[in-house]
Amino acid sequence: MAGVAKLFDGHILHKSNQEVHLNDEKYRGKIIGIYFSAHWCPPCRGFTPILIDFYKKHNEDKNFEIIFVSSDNDEESFNDYYKDMPWWKLDYRERGKRNELANAFKISGIPALILLDGDSGKIICNNGREQIQFQDKNGEHFPWKGETHAKAHKSCILL
């Protein structure tokens, strides 16, 4: 998982606030979703329950994890919004890392869900929200990679 681990420099936390060691063998081969969202954003609040449901149904069988990257304006809003999310988070205090990631992935609006190959850090799909909410609600083609899918949905990228 060295690819994704390099992106975050050890600032990923479990729900219990314990650090996630992304280079650990148990995370090898995972698909990592980077979820950019915020409590103040109505479309985010509409999509987050859909993503939670998708995650709970598929995180084990699809071998994926999600890292919440907040655009909230204060830590209290962040904590209130994150409390129902079942996945990992970027420490709220890491605002510089949040900005760096948003720039690196060219995030121009939220909610946004980017899927990465955990081992290489390469983008698999940069429109995960569209896939989950509109295109492939049941996750039949998750993680939306491969030649046929990439041609049909140009923002899903071949590995």
Instruction: Taking residues 118-147, report their average pLDDT.
Output: 89
pTM of the predicted protein model: 0.89
Per-residue pLDDT, 10: 67
User: Is 157 part of a structural domain of the chain?
Assistant: no
For residues 86 and 65, what is the distance between their CA atoms, to the nearest angstrom?
A: 10
For residues 122 and 8, what is the distance between their CA atoms, to the nearest angstrom?
A: 14
User: Is 37 part of a structural domain of the chain?
Assistant: yes
Exposed (0-12), middle (13-18) or buried (19+): which is 134, by Cβ within 10 Å? exposed
User: Around Cβ 34, how many Cβ atoms within 10 Å?
Assistant: 25
Domain of 72, in residue numbers: 2-152
Per-residue pLDDT, 2: 64
pLDDT band for position 5 (50/70/90)? confident
CATH number at residue 97: 3.40.30.10
Q: How many domains does the chain have?
A: 1
Per-residue pLDDT, 34: 97
User: Is 159 part of a structural domain of the chain?
Assistant: no
